[in-house]
Amino acid sequence: MTPQAYRVKRWHDGGMKVVLRADASTEIGTGHVMRQVALAEELLLQGAEVFLVGEVEGPSWLKDKLTSVRGLQRLGQPAGTFDSGVLQELGASVSAIDSYALGQSE
């Protein structure tokens, strides 16, 4: 089996659910969200069900971009937090977190 055939089979047959996590405000975070959007677009093309979790209060062009990504599902969570219960609720196969605020200890 070729690598390409394996990749398509894996995403389509497995019913992959992916949770992506990022926040953006008018001051910071647009790069975090745009990286997750790039991942989401490819994953959606490969047949995965994709959820973007976080708070996006950034510029209007960013909100417009999120709205334009067909099939991307959004779930709100306050900036800088992550309720990992959402992974189990959604039956997530994998997650990717793009944040400076999450995972840091005080």
Q: What is the pLDDT of residues 28-70, one digit of tens each?
A: 899 999 999 999 999 999 999 999 999 999 899 999 999 999 9
Write down the pTM of the prediction: 0.82
The 10 Å CB-count burial string (b at 16+, else e) for 45-57 is: eebbbbbbbbbbe
- Of residues 61 and 6, more confidence is placed in 61
> Is the distance from CB of 76 to CB of 97 less than 8 angstroms?
no
